[in-house]
Homo-oligomer: A and B are copies of this chain.
Amino acid sequence: MLIVMKTDATDADIERVVQIINDLGFRAHPMPGATRTAIGITGNQGSVDVARFESLPGVAEAIRVSKPYKLISLDLRPEKTIVRVGDATIGGDELAIIAGPCAIESRAQAFAIAEAVHKSGVKFFRGGAYKPRTSPYAFQGLGEDGLKILAEVREAYGLKIVTEALDEAGVDLVERYGDMIQLGARNMQNFSLLRRAGRSKLPVLLKRGLAATLDEWLLAAEYIMAEGNYNVVLCERGIRTFAQHTRNTLDLAAIPAVRRVSHLPVVVDPSHGTGKNYMVTALARAGVAVGSDGLIVEVHDQPERALSDGAQALNLKQYDQLVQEVRAIHEVVTPAAVG
Cα distance, A73 to B132, chains bound together (Å): 22
The yes or no answer to A252 lying at the interface (CB within 8 A) is yes
Chain B residues contacting A242 (CB-CB under 8 Å) are 211, 213, 239-242
Cα distance, A169 to B23, chains bound together (Å): 31
Smallest Cβ-Cβ distance to A70: which chain B residue: B137
Chain B residues contacting A245 (CB-CB under 8 Å) are 213-214, 253-254, 257
Smallest Cβ-Cβ distance to A339: which chain B residue: B321
Nearest-CB distance from A240 to chain B (Å)? 4
Cα distance, A287 to B288, chains bound together (Å): 11
Chain B residues contacting A251 (CB-CB under 8 Å) are 241, 243, 246, 249-250
Main secondary structure of the interface of A (DSSP, over half): helix
Chain B residues contacting A287 (CB-CB under 8 Å) are 286
Cα distance, A290 to B42, chains bound together (Å): 42
The yes or no answer to A75 lying at the interface (CB within 8 A) is no
Cα distance, A189 to B133, chains bound together (Å): 9
The yes or no answer to A177 lying at the interface (CB within 8 A) is no
The yes or no answer to A260 lying at the interface (CB within 8 A) is yes
Chain B residues contacting A274 (CB-CB under 8 Å) are 253
Cα distance, A187 to B187, chains bound together (Å): 7
The yes or no answer to A325 lying at the interface (CB within 8 A) is yes
The yes or no answer to A99 lying at the interface (CB within 8 A) is no
Chain B residues contacting A193 (CB-CB under 8 Å) are 167, 190
- Contact for A253 among B168, B186, B249, CB less than 8 A: B249
Cα distance, A223 to B138, chains bound together (Å): 11
Q: Are B135 and A214 within 8 A (Cβ)? A: no
The yes or no answer to A306 lying at the interface (CB within 8 A) is no
Q: Are A42 and B137 within 8 A (Cβ)? A: yes
Smallest Cβ-Cβ distance to A259: which chain B residue: B282
Smallest Cβ-Cβ distance to A140: which chain B residue: B191
The yes or no answer to A302 lying at the interface (CB within 8 A) is no
Per-position 1/0 for A127-160, Cβ under 8 A of B: 0000011111100000000000000000000000
What are 13 contact pairs spanning A and B, CB under 8 A? A133-B191, A134-B189, A134-B215, A167-B190, A170-B192, A186-B190, A213-B243, A213-B245, A240-B242, A243-B254, A253-B274, A255-B282, A328-B336
Going nearest first, the 8 A-B pairs with the smallest beta carbon separation are A289-B289, A211-B211, A167-B192, A186-B189, A286-B286, A286-B290, A285-B289, A211-B240
Residues of A within 8 A of B (CB): 42, 68-70, 132-137, 166-170, 186-187, 189-193, 209-211, 213-216, 219, 222-223, 226, 239-246, 249-257, 260, 273-274, 278-279, 281-283, 285-291, 325, 328-329, 331-333, 336-337
